[in-house]
């Protein structure tokens, strides 16, 4: 790509609204400018034709009048016959110049010649030093020399109000272009906003199915798509709920039968397997519900008190969990979802490292950060995003004997997305892992 093309792309607006507005405003402004220039050119041409016809008639009648006057009375009439663009001189005038080379002067000279006719032989020469000034020399019937001194051809001046009218026209054109582009791109912007706000709960605001045919059709298609996706999600939730309900009964029966088994070692193993099955079923349903969003509304909470209560619960259970830092203000968040996220992250840290460190702080931009750190085996860089997928367990870096369903991080990520926050994993200096939760700035 050439340097000129690169420079053009760098300065080219990024939004469709700005691009369309720029194209229309520049195009209409250029068209208006060209139209004005053509109109002015046509105006000058028309006025030139009118002036040449006027000069032709006036000069012919003035020469005829001077020719019929007695020689001693001609001097009295010369000032009366003078006009803004020419005057008469009773004498030979200045005949040292060359022939007129300006197009306008040549046209006026030819027009004067056509008006006077062949009765008065004439010569024409330009006057040096003056712009488009020339003289016409002829002799009257009695042989007296007569000179017609044509001054510079001055066009008709512009009216003082014309520039203001032109500026007003450009302003009106710009306003009309802005309005037209806004009306054209407004539905597209609303569609993009609706798509952005379509979260896991599928409860985005429905688009109004009105306006031009294309806009109404796109809105209907988006609303229909939203309804279909919501129906599919509801059906999946019903299937998972039914499967969970049906599995609870045989699991309960199996546990009761295991309790009465005589073989204690085998019973213990079966009890562990049944416990893992029950945990897997519950976690699976929880993950499915997080995919469908959360019904918990965000509210203003004391984040420091919430985190301290989580840490106290772990300490009461004999777990090694520490807390440093503070947010120092309220947050808008669903408290149970936030508690579930921090709890899942702390459980992972305790499970794989034996201890968890929770650090909280507030960024300069006002966003709260909750980091859960451990000194466990860590996760390879290429798998930092993969572990957020459901049922993903990294046997090479995480001990499979520690248990787990592979849904803890997946549930935490889905709850985070529903809160309009972000959850990422980072390698920790000196070994271990950092799970960083960044919450949006409170309104």
Q: 218-251, pLDDT tens digit by residue?
A: 888 888 887 887 777 777 777 766 776 677 777 7
| Alpha-carbon gap, residue 149 to 130, rounded angstroms | 12
pLDDT computed for residue 41 by the predictor: 74
Residue 208 binned pLDDT confidence (cut-offs 50, 70, 90): confident
* pLDDT beyond 90 at 301: no
| Alpha-carbon gap, residue 92 to 223, rounded angstroms | 93
**In the chain, pLDDT over 90 holds for what percent of residues?**
9
Query: Which tokens sit at 24?
Result: 């229309």
pLDDT computed for residue 401 by the predictor: 47
Mean pLDDT in residue range 203-215: 74
Ranges in the chain annotated CATH 1.10.287.130 = 213-289
* pLDDT beyond 80 at 373: yes
Q: In 320-413, which ranges are E strands?
A: 320-324, 330-333, 355-362, 368-374
Mean pLDDT in residue range 11-30: 76
The alpha carbon of 322 is separated from its chain's Cα centroid by a whole number of angstroms, namely 46
Residue 399 binned pLDDT confidence (cut-offs 50, 70, 90): very low
Residue 358 binned pLDDT confidence (cut-offs 50, 70, 90): very high
What CATH number does domain 297-439 carry, 3.20.20.70, 3.30.565.10, 1.20.120.530, 3.40.1190.20?
A: 3.30.565.10
Ranges in the chain annotated CATH 3.30.450 = 18-150
Residue 323 pairs with which residues in a beta bridge? 358
pLDDT computed for residue 167 by the predictor: 82
* pLDDT beyond 60 at 156: no
pLDDT computed for residue 414 by the predictor: 80
Residue 139 pairs with which residues in a beta bridge? 145
pLDDT computed for residue 324 by the predictor: 92
pLDDT computed for residue 242 by the predictor: 73
* pLDDT beyond 50 at 51: yes
| Alpha-carbon gap, residue 336 to 341, rounded angstroms | 9
> Which of 147 and 41 is assigned the larger pLDDT?
147
Query: Which tokens sit at 14?
Result: 């990024």
pLDDT computed for residue 2 by the predictor: 53
The contacts of residue 320 (CB under 8 Å, 6+ apart) are 350, 354, 355, 356
* pLDDT beyond 80 at 172: yes
- Regarding the domain delimited by 213-289, which CATH topology (the fold level of the hierarchy) does it fall under? Helix Hairpins (1.10.287)
For 169, 375, 425, the CA distances from 381, given in Å and listed in that order, are 61, 16, 9
Residue with tokens 């919430």: 306
* pLDDT beyond 90 at 372: yes
* pLDDT beyond 90 at 371: yes
Q: In the CATH scheme, what is the code of domain 18-150?
A: 3.30.450
At 63-104, the pLDDT tens digits run 788 878 888 888 888 888 887 777 888 888 776 666 665 555
pLDDT computed for residue 273 by the predictor: 75
> Which of 423 and 112 is assigned the larger pLDDT?
423
pLDDT computed for residue 40 by the predictor: 77
Instruction: Look up the pTM and report it.
Output: 0.48
Provide the 3-class DSSP secondary structure of residue 345.
helix
**In the chain, pLDDT over 70 holds for what percent of residues?**
74
């Amino acid at each position: 790509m050439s340097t000129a093309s690169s420079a053009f792309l760098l300065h080219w607006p990024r939004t469709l609204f700005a691009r369309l507005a720029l194209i229309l405003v520049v195009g209409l402004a250029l068209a208006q400018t060209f139209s004005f220039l053509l109109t002015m050119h046509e105006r000058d041409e028309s006025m030139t034709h009118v002036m040449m016809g006027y000069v032709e008639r006036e000069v012919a009648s003035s020469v005829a009048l001077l020719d019929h006057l007695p020689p001693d009375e001609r001097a009295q009439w010369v000032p009366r016959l003078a006009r803004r663009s020419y005057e008469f001189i009773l004498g030979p005038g200045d005949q040292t110049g060359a022939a007129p080379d300006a197009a306008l002067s040549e046209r006026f000279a030819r027009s004067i010649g056509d008006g006077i006719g062949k009765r008065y032989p004439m010569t024409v020469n330009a006057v040096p030093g003056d712009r488009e000034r020339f003289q016409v020399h002829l002799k009257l019937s009695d042989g007296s020399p007569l000179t017609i001194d044509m001054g510079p051809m001055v066009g008709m001046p512009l009216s003082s109000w014309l520039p203001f009218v032109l500026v007003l026209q450009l302003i009106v054109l710009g306003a009309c272009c802005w309005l037209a582009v806004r009306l054209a791109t407004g539905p597209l912007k609303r569609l993009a906003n609706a798509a952005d706000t379509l979260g896991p709960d599928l409860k985005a605001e429905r688009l109004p199915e009105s306006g031009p045919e294309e806009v109404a059709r796109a809105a209907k298609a988006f609303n229909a798509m939203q309804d279909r996706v919501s129906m599919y999600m509801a059906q999946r939730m019903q299937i998972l709920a039914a499967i969970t309900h049906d599995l609870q009964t045989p699991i309960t029966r199996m546990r009761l039968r295991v309790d009465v088994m005589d073989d204690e070692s085998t019973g213990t193993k079966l009890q562990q397997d049944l416990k893992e099955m029950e945990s897997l079923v519950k976690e699976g349903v929880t993950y499915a519900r997080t995919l469908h969003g959360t019904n918990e509304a965000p509210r203003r909470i004391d984040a420091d008190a919430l985190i301290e209560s989580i840490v106290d619960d772990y300490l009461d259970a004999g777990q090694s969990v520490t807390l440093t830092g503070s947010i120092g203000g309220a947050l808008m968040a669903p408290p149970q979802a936030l508690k579930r996220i921090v709890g899942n992250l702390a459980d992972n840290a305790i499970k794989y490292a034996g201890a968890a460190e929770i650090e909280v702080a507030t960024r300069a931009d006002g966003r709260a950060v909750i980091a859960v750190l451990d000194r466990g085996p860590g996760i390879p860089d290429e798998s930092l995003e993969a572990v957020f997928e459901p049922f993903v367990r990294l046997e090479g870096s995480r001990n499979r004997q520690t248990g787990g369903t592979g849904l803890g991080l997946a549930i935490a990520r889905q709850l985070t997305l529903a809160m309009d926050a972000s959850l990422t994993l980072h390698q920790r200096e000196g070994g271990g892992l950092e799970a960083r939760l960044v919450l949006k700035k409170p309104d």
